[in-house]
Amino acid sequence: MSIDSSLIVREDTLPTVADLTAAIAETGVEVVFPVDFALNRNVGGWVPITVDGQESGFDYAAYPLSGVGLGELPAGAIDLGDTLLSFGARGTISAETVTLIQQVLGRRWRAALLIEDELLPPEGDWGPEASLADLHVDQHRSPAERAADVEAYVAQHYPPAPGNQRAEVMNVLRPLIIPVIIILIFAAIFVWTRSA
């Protein structure tokens, strides 16, 4: 499962990874990015990170809005920034972490959220001094806790589909076919040589 979303920002206002990490730490969550990661650099792939000691990550790409066709963007998108930061979450902890990173970037650096064809501009009072208190783990819980809640809910309300028993039996028997044939050939040769 992959969940894709983007942020529209002004490149000249992008924080350093140290500044972003410090802002995320204000929420009570510790995120460790790779040493060579920078928000304005197009990774075009998986960015491994650690969230509160757990391994996670996300797909990431950054590129100028000028490279995106205007017909692909909702009205007003070009007025909100010049750079598109694209995030792809794989799995629950990854999705919760991407959400937190995007919320912090939105509040402190006035990033606009672009998900599907929906554009959500930053609130009027968001900026460098915007409070992150309501994102704090004491009120909002950590990405790992929220991911565990989602996974427990899914497990409770959406049990796994029953397996195909015939296919399961075939998967067990398939690797045994060649050895059984070889044993039968040797047994036939043994019986043939004894009777001759």
The number of domains in the chain is 2
DSSP labels, 55-117 = EEEEEEEEEEGGGS-GGGS-TTGGGS-SEEEEEEEESHHHHHHHHHHHHHHHHHH-PEEEETT
Say whether both 44 and 138 belong to one domain.
yes
Predicted pLDDT at 70 = 62
Which of 11-25, 40-54, 62-76, 87-101 shows the lowest mean pLDDT across its residues?
Answer: 62-76
Say whether both 18 and 86 belong to one domain.
yes
Say whether both 140 and 172 belong to one domain.
no
- Under a CB-based contact definition with an 8 Å cutoff, are residues 97 and 132 in contact? no
How confident is the model over 58-76, as pLDDT tens digits?
Answer: 999 998 988 776 677 788 8
Say if residue 118's pLDDT is above 70: yes
Say whether both 122 and 188 belong to one domain.
no
How confident is the model over 148-186, as pLDDT tens digits?
Answer: 888 888 888 887 777 777 878 788 888 888 888 888 888
- Residue 181: inside a domain: yes
First to last CA, the chain: 64
Say whether both 125 and 185 belong to one domain.
no
Residue with the two structure tokens 């650096």: 109
- Indicate the pTM of the whole model: 0.74
Predicted pLDDT at 139 = 66
Domain that holds residue 183: 167-195
Say whether both 92 and 174 belong to one domain.
no
